[in-house]
Amino acid sequence: MTPDPDQHVSLGEMYSDYFLDYASYVILERAVPHLGDGLKPVQRRILHSMKELDDGRYNKVANLIGNTMKYHPHGDAAIGDATVNLGQKDLLIDTQGNWGNTLTGDGAAAPRYIEARLTKFALEVLFNPKTTAWTPSYDGRNKEPITLPSKFPVLLAQGVEGIAVGLACKMLPHNFNEIIDGCIAALRKQSFELLPDFPTGGIMDASDYRDGLRGGKVRVRARISVEKKNLLRITEIPFGTTTGALMDSIVAAGDKGKIKISKIEDNTAEHADILVYLPSGSDAETTRDALFAFTDCEMGISPNGCVITEGKPKFMGVSEILKASAFQTRDLLEQELKIRLAELNEKWHFSSLEKIFIENRIYRDIEECETWEAVIKAIDDGLKPFKKLLKREVTEDDIVRLTEIRIKRISKYDSFKADEEINKLEEAIAETEKNLGQLTKFTIRWFKDLQKRYGKGRERKTEIASFERVDRTQVVAATETLYLDEKGGFAGYGLKKEKPVEKCSTIDDIIAFTADGTMKVVKVAEKVFVGQRPVHVAVFRKEEDLIYSMIYRDGRDGPLLAKRFRVGGVTRDKDYDLTPGKKGTRIFYFAVHETEEASNDQMLVVHIKPALRLRNLSRPFHFGEQAIKGRGSRGNIITKHAVDRIVRAPKDFELEE
């Protein structure tokens, strides 16, 4: 007995099969565009439905949605959203009414209030029933295209985003004219580079684009100009955000104390126009950098080129997609030329046959015929002397067509006009054969003509530039004060009753040194523990090349040592020993200097505790004699005697020879 394939051994196997079926459906039929036309199934069905209803006039979107549901078995809301998304891209759909605003994020009006029709561009590059492969719709009542015969890389021009099961697709939009230039370069086998171009404009750093493949990234900035001393104007925003979301991010950064603003206004209409007012005393250039660092004025976008080809998903870069599309266009144009050539040859054949039939009065040979077979034979016999003038054999269907010529046409037949028409057909045939013989040149001319007719007004909007990432620590507004609780060993900007240290921001780090010779770096907070008996607490700035001077006792009874060092790289929240770490270690002296010269000027006096046979209890020490080393160095011994205290030497103090 043959096992039933629908029977599963276990519940786990059943769900495994069902999940794979569902995952395949989502990938192939919902989320990922096809390489052939650059469209997801819902987009293809919408456009096919619009072509089906096309009569040159606008159709209500509600009507388009209803008609599309014959092909797309999903809810009307999903189809409506996809239609609006296509219309907002301003390439394939000619819109009328309130279709929303991609700058502000405002939604479109209800489908019953807005209208649409296909653009002339879409009609020219997407549709040709003679080169379309068809498949039955989901219920078998209609036919729908497997893919539209696209002669333009719609996917690269519009961009698309979709999330499937286990993979995602994110194709960024590219410039219309640059796409055509790239197609021409690909056909000529020349090198080219294609970079994104966003409808919202902005400034883009695409140095890490990686041809749109996984792992690549582009950074896009808003265009911000300094209008006045205390006024910034945003006229272009990054792709993927809206003016409302951008303003919210600016306000949020202001509330967190990362930037200082006094007011923000949105005057956006057709173009973005946001005014950012700064408080008195603010630096406009620094604030602009802070907007890039802490708000959506700079955004990173990660592309992920994924398409359906040969019935499965494939990750492809934009240059590979462009080449495939360019050569697909050439193949489609070849098919169209061959179809046209066949039609022209067929028209020439029958026009020539008709001319022979009428001019040689072959129609008179059938006057005495009594049967249909006799009529066919009489015409065929009459044509025999002229068959060598034709390009193909005369079929019975040809003879049947001759019998259908009306007497009125025969009586008014004009041989001169017939010769003119045949000559025009011969010229068209010759031109078509020439184009087929020079197919690549013909395709390049076709692309240039397309650019000439539709490329105007589609100039690049996003400026290509290279810019460094803004160091957040350099531009953040220092709106808080760091306080130190010396007794408890806590620091933070929330300890307002304790000792103030210096101004800080909420993203700063704190460096703390304690009396037992340990150091650590922690993130600033309202209150954070920095260690018992801190001897130095400050905001840690990596870019500052500070020199630290320290004198400590190694253990309870060990010698007194001195060291000068730089901190170098550190890990946050890790304790670092600046001494050998013996129990009872104590720091007697600690100082910080910005330059080596200032550090060299330290002149100290070390006071030693009285002891038997010890006469000189005060000894000078000059830090300039100590080499600057790493924080892990042990240091140099000053004395092995017990030390009472260390003080700075008076200005008139002279070092004894």
Active site residues: 113
Query: By C-alpha distance, which of 103, 89, 159, 194 is closest to 301?
Result: 159
DSSP 71: T
Query: By C-alpha distance, which of 109, 106, 108, 88 is closest to 243?
Result: 106
Contact criterion met (CB below 8 Å) for 47 and 126: yes
Tell me, letter by letter, the H, E, C secondary structure of 29-46: HHHCCECCCCCCHHHHHH
DSSP 601: T
Q: What is the spatial distance between Cα 286 and Cα 476, in angstroms, rounded to a whole number?
A: 9
At a CB cut-off of 8 Å and minimum separation 6, what does 228 contact? Answer: none
Q: What is the spatial distance between Cα 50 and Cα 59, in angstroms, rounded to a whole number?
A: 8
Helix axes 439-454, 415-437, angle to 10 degrees: 100
Q: What is the spatial distance between Cα 446 and Cα 479, in angstroms, rounded to a whole number?
A: 61
Q: What is the spatial distance between Cα 106 and Cα 244, in angstroms, rounded to a whole number?
A: 10
The strand pair at 463-464 and 203-208 is best described as parallel
Q: What is the spatial distance between Cα 424 and Cα 221, in angstroms, rounded to a whole number?
A: 57
At a CB cut-off of 8 Å and minimum separation 6, what does 386 contact? Answer: 356, 360
DSSP of 244-298:
HHHHHHHHHHHHTTSS--SEEEE--SSS--EEEE--TT--HHHHHHHHHHHSTTE
User: Which residue in this structure is represented by tokens 């001897």?
Assistant: 535
Query: By C-alpha distance, which of 178, 181, 170 is closest to 197?
Result: 178
User: Tokens at residue 171, please?
Assistant: 């194709």
